[in-house]
Structure formats: structure tokens, C-alpha cells
Structure 1
């Protein structure tokens, strides 16, 4: 049981340590990726500035903030580091850094914290006073203080120290220690097994060899940085990789690719609001145009970079851009503009005491003055350039300065001085061993270029393959979608056609009388609706007793045949459209006027000679009772006023009213209704039968019949 508890405790400690390690590494990545956001967050969480004069007061502040004193110390250290970063925007960050360093000295107790304070002091002097010698000394002192500390926190601190030391030695123009610290920087990154840190280290080594004009090695490290950077999801790393790829393409004079990567990097840095890197990317674009001898475009981008540096207060960056602008104006033969730009750069470098930039600036200053035939001024600046080059043991710069001096002395007529300078040039040249570049190095560069070009081609081929596969997949998907759409469309059209046919069939069935399947009541109403009631026409309802029960006496099939034959013959005889209302009752529509008497006579004559060929049903002429005929007759329009509209249904019901009265008689009877000219429209409204009966009594409508219709015979 005790072993199990011990094992569980060990697992918990390991998991906790692993989680803490990830948090520390993530903090360092956040420091580099989003420094401004981290800065604002730390200012809020620590409620900076804090006021305390001893450790006890500090502990009380930590307690009020809800954190341990050690956690608060680490947050203040991180805040101090951020105040010394160029890509953090704050008007008071220099003063804040001084305050934080002073306060941290009060509360720092561990060797690691004290080492960090030492480093911060050196970094502050380097940024504020450009005192790189003092900064290097402080950084090395910080390294010594944590030499025996193997914790992750100390390892990450060493990682940052070697990064900064390499940059300090670079600015101090000491390439050997610069490379030493870069290699140590890279070793720690691989020791941490963190792809983000590995990509950073590979990028820095690529930059080192790029500055050393060793493109083969530079290309090797940049390629590795780009490869590792593509494995991680940190856009800042990718942006830096793009920026350095732009530089590589620029050095290889592959201008289009260089511009593409430089513009991409600029866009990325602008998105992250990293002003210093934005200025650097804009400067690279300008240098690409300078490499293409497109000096006006180069000046435009140098000026854009200059604006960013001015906004950031980066005076060194302003000086470098002024130097580059002066070179561009020199190539455009714009002497006054070149002189103004180089003078601005010189004043900045002198004020900041950055002699490693000033030595090159004095040389360009001299060249511009010579171009303007300002010989005395050229001698003055050439001497300054020679002194600086001698101090820094820069042989090429010494030769350039001596060349300018020799030319200037000859132009002012001081031949003795010119001869003396020539002797120095000869002596310096003799001391230089003319070492030709090793063929293996040349072949190595060629091989690296070929490998790089091959890698680019393979990447493009892979991209094209991916794009082709995507296009094929998209084509297949579109084709499948089109087939599905066509199928759905065909099914929809087929269903629509079926629905249309069904609707058409339904409309036809809707108009038919169910038993005989001939035009019925609804067809009759439709005919009355379509009629031009302003024209004279006649409508009549006809009832023949012999056919009243034909559907049951003869069966539906036989009855339908007899009724169809009957209607066909009668419609031809009467020149009318005939509709089956129900068994034995029919509606007749005439396009002309026909009086009820003539209509009855014609039907009687037809019925008298018509025989039903069914032994069950007597013939029309066999039994008088079965031969009775009733007609309800109306002339249309019912009202003379064309502005008054009466519905088809009211016309039909009026005819029903007439035939209802006729059917009260024992002999063949017709009843015809006709309205007088002064009849109001209100008589043709509900209840219709009551209104018509009252109109009859009042004499508003006229009734004609072959029988005497008693008052009680009228329907109510």
C-alpha cells in the first residue's frame, strides 16, 4: 500500500512538473509573439506601479493582489523585460524599467532572480546609452551566477541570455563570440525540444551567415527554420521566416520571389502590430528595389520604413534608413538630397555613439562629397572613416578611406600627402594575402543553390499536384452535384407533369355529372359565368319523367348510353348546349332567343317518336304519365341594366324556381319568367324564392305558362 501511495505521489509530481514546464515555455513564446498584449495584462494583474520600500511591504502587496511574493516577483521581472523590448509601445517604458529594476533589487533573494536583475541592468544600458561593452559584461556576470542551476527556469533564462549576447557581439562587430553564443543558443533550443525555439535559433544562425555574406550556410539555416516553422501554429515565426527568405531571394537576385515574401512578411507584421519588424520588412523591400536599380521605388519604401521608426522612436533605425536613402539619392545623381540624408544619419550615429555604423556612414559621406567636388569636406570625413576603420581593424574600410583621401588630396593639389596615402595603400595591400575562394566552397554554394532551387521546384510541383487533386475532387463533386440536380430536376418535372395531368383530369372530372359522365351542373355554371350576359340568350331547365329513375331501372352503364344518345340528338335538334343536372333533369343553354312554347313543342315532338329499347322501361309514347315534360324558362339577361351583375348561380336558381312551379301541374308544362324594365336588382338576392314570389305578387316580374298556375303552386 505504501508503494502504491509513493508511486501515485511520484506520478503527480511528474505531471505537475510537466505542466509547469509547458507553462514556462508558453510564457516565453507569448513574450515573443504578443508582447504588447502580455505587457498590458501584466500591468493590470500587478497594478503597476507599486510603492514599497522593503520586503515586508512587498509581501503585503502580494497578499492584497492574491498571489505569492515569488509569483509577483516573476511577474515584475517579466514586466521589466517587456519594458526593454522595442516592439512594446509605452511612453514611459524606459522610466518604468528603471523603477522595476530598483524595486526588484529590494526583494530579489535567489541567485536566479539576482542574475536576471544583472541582465536587466546591462540591457537597459545597452538600449539607453548604447553601452554594449558594459552590457556584455553584465550578461556574462548573469551567466556565471546561474552556472550550477539546471532548472527549466534557469535554462530558459540562459536561452534568452545567449540570444541577447549574440546580438550585442554582432553590434560590437565581434563575429567570433557572436557565432559562439548563437551556437549555444541553438543547442539549448534542441535541448528543450521545442520547435518554436528551434525555429528561432535556426533563423538567427541564418541571419549571422547572411551578414557574413555566406549565402550557402545562410540558406541551409533559413530552409530549416522555414521547415520547422511550418510545423507549428505561430504566425510570428512564419513571418520572420518569410522576411529572411525574402533576404535570401534578394541575395540570389530572384527578385519576384523576394518581393512576394517581403510583402507577405510586411502584411503579417502589420497584423501583429509589430512596428520594428514592419520597418525592417519595408527596408528589405526597399533594398530589393535597390538591387534592381529601381532607386525611386527604393526611396519610397525607405521613407515608409522611416515613418514607422519615427513613430516608434527608434533613432538607430532612422539613422540606418537615412544612410540607405542617401545611397539611393547618390545613384540618382541628386547630390543635395544625398547630402541632407547622410548628414542626418551621421548626427544620429554620433549622438548615439554607434561607431560600428558610423564607420560605414563616414565612408558613404565621403563618397557623396567627392561626387559633389567638395574636396576639403571629403578629406575631413575620409580621415574620420580611416580612424574608425583602424580602431575596428576593418581592412576593406581602411582601403576605401585611403582611396578617397588619395583622390581628394590630388584634387586640392597636395601631392605629397597624396603620395604618402598611396604608399599606405600599397603597404596595406601587400599585407593582405590574396586568398582565392576555395573551389569546394564555391561548389558548396552552387550545390546549396541547386538544392534550394530543386526544393522550390519540388514545392511548386507538390502545390500543383495538390491543386490538381483539389480541382479533380472539386470537378467530381460538381459533376456528382450536377447529376443529382439533373435527376432531382427530372423527377420534379415528371412529378409536376403528373400533377398537372392529374389537375387537368380532375378539372375535367369536376365538370362532369358522376353517373353519366357527361357535362353536369358545374360545367353548366361555368358556361353561365363565361356568357356575355349583355347579349340575348336563353336558359332553361328541362325535366322528363321517363328518365328520372333510368340509372336504377337500366343500370349505370346502359343508362349512360341512353342519356348520351338522348342528349346528342336533342342538342342537335334544339341547337343548344345540354347539361345533365341529375337523372331526368337537364339544363339547356341557347345562344339565341327561343320562347318557352316553341321549346316545349319541339321536345314533345321529339319524345313522342323516341323509344327506349329496354323492356323494363316503357317507351315515352307508351304511357302518358311517363311522358310528362316540365320546363323552367328564363330569358337573359334577367335585368336590362348592363351595370348590374347577377351571378350564374342566381340565374340557375331562377330557372329552378320556374320549373318548380311547372312540376306542380299534371300535364306538360312550361313556366317562363321575364323581368320588367323597372324591376330592381334586389329581387335577385337571398332568400331568392321569397323575393321572386313577392315580386310576382307586386307585378314586377312577368310569368308566362301554358297552364294556369295557382298562387299556392309557387315555391316559397
Structure 2
């Protein structure tokens, strides 16, 4: 028995140790994604430099001198190499230092996991340093080939990161199906890892994908889920990212005010956390919004701000993109010479980074600007470059545009022979594009004409045979049609009668469903049906009579029914609304206009005093406006309204039974829809405590004791 207990204790200790290690690994991943500069400082503080070894034996000795196990030191070096490859960590020659660590890791990479990690690092470096996305994709695919489906957390986390980076690269290179496949796997692994931050990031990434694909409904669906999860996390960088993504969606939906609001919010968030690379992106979004509104001067200002940030960071690709955007803005602002200057600078940077995909569009824009300036030699040169690159990247529309500029330039230059040759290419490409847009056909015009003649001949022959048969079959057909018509008429009459009967039964059942079972007065389901109608309801109130919950027992059913019906009729008439009996002493009111809370309480008091059974009975009142949330696009279900009213009445009841009192709430404009999600009592109380919901009461609202969510002691879903 003692051996068994020792074994059990050892098992629990091991399990606790493993769970702690897993939790620490997830926490490091979250910190890495949220703040790479801070993560870098922690990483270098835990190591003693220089770290150099030429064999596994030397590495093991180095690990001992630094106080690590071999596995722990290898993990530290893997994290260090990975953080070196992140933008904006404030380290000079970060790429070279990353390569040095990766070279050291190659010496000790003796497992599939280690080799996969190295391939992931190589793919990241290739993508960031050289923008060779296809080669980067190859590295990531090789990394996946090293790994198999595994339940251990490090492998799951590595797969999680590889699928994200692969999906992002496929998205950049416009391979949509492959991108979506890997991003969905990335999201699935995030849910398996069971961390709200990682799940929110994955949902946000899918929202970003669908936004780029102009599937804005799906994008907003994923962003909404990401925001819901982010609300319970103190992660300012994540919130700033979500604001930036929402700004882009609103920009694409041409909701300029919302786009600017979220873009500025994102810029403020990135400034606070020191994420200059993302701050540049926020500035670019703001510039694009102004550009869409043709407010080119403001757009140019923000492009210049983004350019200053990217120059300070030394990000050449971002600088080139900003110069390209500036060129486009100056061109649209009727400043073609400035536009050309910026575009040529961008061209040099794109060539330096070998960004052929961006070069195509930049060359085409240079050709367009040069054509406006009448520099036909430049138009011809850059159109020719764009055509070669577009043909290499298999972009027929860009090839077509390049040939248009080239043909015009050669014509203006007087080189008619080359112009005609370019025109022939243009016509051929136009035909190819036309053929690609049409399904291939086996018919030539002559074959089609032959088929039409054969069809006409067959129709004439069939018509002749039909006429011959019609003479013999007309009477028989007429007789059959008459008999069938009579049968159908009889069946139709029978069906009509049965349908009418069913309609009456259905109407009766619907009416009964909407009634309170015992009294047959309008009840809870009647209220739900009323809320689902299009008729406007301005205010809801739930009335609880302190001494009315046992009225059916005290008066007997007949007297109780008569008194309750009279009271509900009085309330409906006196308050210009409708009353619904929930249970004895609990009446729900739908009002057609908004009443001041105190005035509504006093009016109800007056109406109750006119009823013999309710004179002197104190009551509690919960009341809210409809709609409850300021955003009309957010739909609140009728049962949610009822649950909110229940909570308000419960809060009012906690103030005592010796007086009438009311409790009302008003969510503030910035309150999220999640305050009305399940469990409602938990989320609504948190919204009140955080100042997202305004509470009104005719007594001291600080004394209100809100009902507690019964599962609050077990788990907190937020």
C-alpha cells in the first residue's frame, strides 16, 4: 500500500511538473508574439556570451558552464535565432547574428524536431532578407516533412508557427487555396493549444485573409471572435493589431470615418508598445483612405510619415513600397515629375531586393507617368521591362498593359516597324485573353450551320408525325383531360377544406402557445413573438409585486384570474403598451414610447393603488430602452432582453421590501456586444464593474447586490 501511495505521489508530481513546463512554453510564445523586443532582452539576459562550439561535446560542456541542460540551452538558442529574425527588435546586423546562431544549431541538430526548427528559421530568414518567397516556401515544406502529427506540445507549437508562416507566404504570392489550407490548420492547432491569445491571433489572421479576398462578412466574423477573446486579455499589441485589421476592412467597405478612427487607434497602440513597423502600416492605411477620397495632399503627408519610420528602421522593401505609393499619389495630384522621381527610387530598391512582383507594377506606373510627360523613350524602356517580368510571372493582364504602353511609345518615337510588331503581340495576347475567358468549342461556323439545318429537318418530320397522330388521339385526350380535371378539382376542394381546418387549428395552437398556461393570459412566449415583430418597441419593464408571488394561492384560481386580468388590462391601457404574465406577481411590459424611470414608477404606483388586491403592495421594477446597445447592427435576442430584465429586478429586490424601487441600465457606446453573451449574469456584472454599463436607481445603487453566476466558483470563461 505504501509503495502504491509513493507511486501515486510521484505520478502527480511529474504531471504537475509537465503541466508547468507546458504553461511556461505557451507563455513564452505569447510574449514572443506580443513584444519581441522585450523577449529579446530576456533571452540575452539569460545567456553568457560568446556562445561558440565546434562539436556536440563542446556544446555539452558549454551548457554545464552556463547552468543549463543540453536540451535547455538548445531551446534558448532556438528562441534567440527566432527573435533575431523578427523586425523592430532594435539590434544591428540582426540577420547576420541570426545566421551565426543557426550555424551553431546545425552542429547539434540530431532530431527531426531540431532539423524542422532549423528549416523554419531558414525559411523565415530567406523570406525576410531576400524576399525569395518561393524558396522560403520550399524550406517550410521541408520542415513539415520532418514532423509527423504529435501530441507533445513543442511539436504542436512548431507546427502552429510553420502553418502560419506558410499560409502567409502563400497569401503574399496569391496562392489562395494553399494559403487558406495552411491558415485553417494554423487556427485548428491554436484551438488545440487552448490559449485565448493564440486563438485570437489565429482568428485575426483568417479575418485578414478573407478581407484580402474581399469576403468581408467572413472577415468580420473572424475579427468579432478575435475581439471577444482579446477583451479578457491585457495585450495592447494584439488590440492594436485588431484595430489595424478593422481599419483595413472599413477602408475596403468605403466606410471612411470608421476606417480612420480604427487606423488612428491602431497607430496610438503601436506607438505605446514601440512597434514602428506596424506604426508604418497604420500610417499607410490612413494615407490610402485619404487617397480613396482623393484628398491627395493628406495622403502624401501620411505616406511621408510612414517613409520616415521605415528609413529609420532600415526596411528597404517598406521604403520601396512607400516610394511607389508616393509616386502614385503625386501622379494623381498632378505632379508627374515628383511622381517619377519617387518611382525611380522605388525601382532601384525593388531591384536591390529582387522583388520582381513589385517591380512589375512599379515599371508600369513609371511608363504611365512618363507617357504623360511625353518621354517616350522611358515609356518604351520600362514597358519592355514590365512585359518581360509579367511574362515570367505569368500575369497576362499586366503583359497586355505593358504592350499598350510599348506600342504607343514606339509609334511616338517613329519606329513604325517595331510598333507594328508590338501591336501584333498585343492583338495576339488580346485573343489569348479572350480565349482563356471562353470555354473551348468543337464547332466551326460551317459545322454549326449544318447542325442547325439538321435540327430544322428533324423538327419538320416530328411535326408531321404529330399532326397525323393528333387526328386520332384528340378525342381520347380531351376525354382523359376532362376526367383528370374533375378528379383534380375534387382533390383540390378536399385539400382546401383540410388546409382551412389545419389553419384554424394552427392559429388556435399559436395563440395558446403565446398564453400563460393556467390563466390563458398573454405570457412569456407572447412577449417573444411580440419582440420578433417589426413593430417598434421603445422600452421594456419587468414588474415584480413584493406580495404578489403567492396571490394565486391566497385568492384561489378564479379570483386570482379575474384580478390579474383586470390588473394587466389597467397596466396596458394606463402605460400605452402591452402586458405579459410571466408568473404570479411578475408582469412584463412592452411600452411604445420611452418613459422617464421615476415617472414610470410613479405611474405604476398610481395604477396599482386603483386595484383592490394590490393596494399598499410594494413593487420592484427593472426597465431598459430598446435597442439596448447603441450599435443597431448588433442584434439582441428577445430572451436576452428578458434575462437582462430578470437581473435588474433581482438587483432591485436586494434593496429591501419596504419601498418601491426601480433599477435600469444603459450600456455605453463603446461597450462590446460580449457583455450580453452567456453566461449573462457574469458578463453583465463585469461590464457594470468595469464602467462599460451605466446603472440608474431611485435608491443607493452602491447597495445593489447583483445575482451571482452559479458557475463562477468553477471557471471564468473570460
Q: Structure 2 matches for 1:322-471, cutoff 5 A?
A: 322-413=323-414, 414=416, 416-417=420-421, 419-433=423-437, 454-455=632-633, 462-464=667-669
Provide the residue aligned with 2:72 in structure 1: 71
Structure-2 separation of matches of 1:479 and 1:400:
70
Cα separation, partners in 2 of 1:419 and 1:73, compared to 1, 3 Å: closer
Q: Structure 2 matches for 1:452-491, cutoff 5 A?
A: 454-455=632-633, 462-464=667-669, 473=696
Structure-2 separation of matches of 1:476 and 1:210:
49
**Worse overlay, 453-462 or 152-161:** 453-462
Cα separation, partners in 2 of 1:456 and 1:148, compared to 1, 3 Å: closer
1:114 aligns with 2:115: yes
Check the 8 A contact 2:160/2:189 in 1, yes or no.
Answer: yes
Deviation per CA, 1:368-412, whole angstroms, max 9, x where unpaired? 112212222112212222222222222332333233334334444
Shift of 1:454: 4.7
Check the 8 A contact 2:667/2:693 in 1, yes or no.
Answer: no
Shift of 1:473: 4.5
Give the secondary structure class of the aligned counterpart of 2:233: coil
Give the secondary structure class of the aligned counterpart of 1:50: coil
Cα separation, partners in 2 of 1:469 and 1:286, compared to 1, 3 Å: closer
Cα separation, partners in 2 of 1:40 and 1:470, compared to 1, 3 Å: closer
Structure-2 separation of matches of 1:390 and 1:462:
57
Provide the residue aligned with 1:649 in structure 2: none
Provide the residue aligned with 1:26 in structure 2: 27
Provide the residue aligned with 2:285 in structure 1: 284
Structure-1 separation of matches of 2:312 and 2:238:
24
1:317 aligns with 2:321: no
Structure-1 separation of matches of 2:240 and 2:113:
33
Q: Structure 2 matches for 1:172-321, cutoff 5 A?
A: 172-321=173-322
Cα separation, partners in 2 of 1:70 and 1:422, compared to 1, 3 Å: closer
Cα separation, partners in 2 of 1:366 and 1:219, compared to 1, 3 Å: farther
Shift of 1:15: 2.3
Structure-1 separation of matches of 2:696 and 2:68:
56
Check the 8 A contact 1:403/1:425 in 2, yes or no.
Answer: no
Give the secondary structure class of the aligned counterpart of 2:668: helix
Provide the residue aligned with 1:99 in structure 2: 100
Structure-2 separation of matches of 1:267 and 1:108:
42
Check the 8 A contact 2:367/2:405 in 1, yes or no.
Answer: yes
Cα separation, partners in 2 of 1:122 and 1:479, compared to 1, 3 Å: closer
Structure-2 separation of matches of 1:120 and 1:469:
44
Structure-2 separation of matches of 1:463 and 1:386:
56
5+ long unaligned stretches in structure 2: 440-629, 638-664, 672-686, 704-718
Structure-2 separation of matches of 1:124 and 1:370:
39
**Worse overlay, 205-214 or 420-429:** 420-429
Give the secondary structure class of the aligned counterpart of 1:46: coil
Shift of 1:474: 9.7
Provide the residue aligned with 2:476 in structure 1: none
Shift of 1:218: 2.5
Structure-2 separation of matches of 1:426 and 1:77:
52
Shift of 1:242: 0.4
TM-score after normalising by structure 1 = 0.61
Structure-1 separation of matches of 2:698 and 2:362:
60
Deviation per CA, 1:638-678, whole angstroms, max 9, x where unpaired? xxxxxxxxxxxxxxxxxxxxxxxxxxxxxxxxxxxxxxxxx
Give the secondary structure class of the aligned counterpart of 2:54: coil
Provide the residue aligned with 1:47 in structure 2: 48
Provide the residue aligned with 1:538 in structure 2: none
Check the 8 A contact 2:666/2:693 in 1, yes or no.
Answer: no
Structure-2 separation of matches of 1:407 and 1:254:
38
Structure-2 separation of matches of 1:469 and 1:453:
14
Check the 8 A contact 1:229/1:241 in 2, yes or no.
Answer: no
1:162 aligns with 2:148: no
Give the secondary structure class of the aligned counterpart of 1:325: helix
Cα separation, partners in 2 of 1:457 and 1:280, compared to 1, 3 Å: farther
Give the secondary structure class of the aligned counterpart of 1:86: coil
1:132 aligns with 2:337: no
Q: Structure 2 matches for 1:676-687, cutoff 5 A?
A: none
- In terms of Rg, which structure is larger? 1
Cα separation, partners in 2 of 1:244 and 1:18, compared to 1, 3 Å: same
5+ long unaligned stretches in structure 1: 436-451, 481-716
Q: Structure 2 matches for 1:476-555, cutoff 5 A?
A: none
Aligned length: 465
Deviation per CA, 1:615-641, whole angstroms, max 9, x where unpaired? xxxxxxxxxxxxxxxxxxxxxxxxxxx
Structure-2 separation of matches of 1:249 and 1:469:
24
Deviation per CA, 1:259-296, whole angstroms, max 9, x where unpaired? 11111111111111111111111111111111111111
Cα separation, partners in 2 of 1:150 and 1:378, compared to 1, 3 Å: same
Cα separation, partners in 2 of 1:45 and 1:406, compared to 1, 3 Å: same
Cα separation, partners in 2 of 1:478 and 1:208, compared to 1, 3 Å: closer
Shift of 1:20: 1.6
Cα separation, partners in 2 of 1:356 and 1:419, compared to 1, 3 Å: closer
Deviation per CA, 1:587-606, whole angstroms, max 9, x where unpaired? xxxxxxxxxxxxxxxxxxxx
Shift of 1:337: 0.6
TM-score after normalising by structure 2 = 0.61
Provide the residue aligned with 1:8 in structure 2: 9
1:150 aligns with 2:154: no
Q: Structure 2 matches for 1:606-621, cutoff 5 A?
A: none
Shift of 1:59: 2.3
Structure-2 separation of matches of 1:453 and 1:356:
42
Check the 8 A contact 1:207/1:244 in 2, yes or no.
Answer: yes
Give the secondary structure class of the aligned counterpart of 2:46: helix
Cα separation, partners in 2 of 1:473 and 1:136, compared to 1, 3 Å: same
Give the secondary structure class of the aligned counterpart of 1:47: coil
Shift of 1:58: 2.3
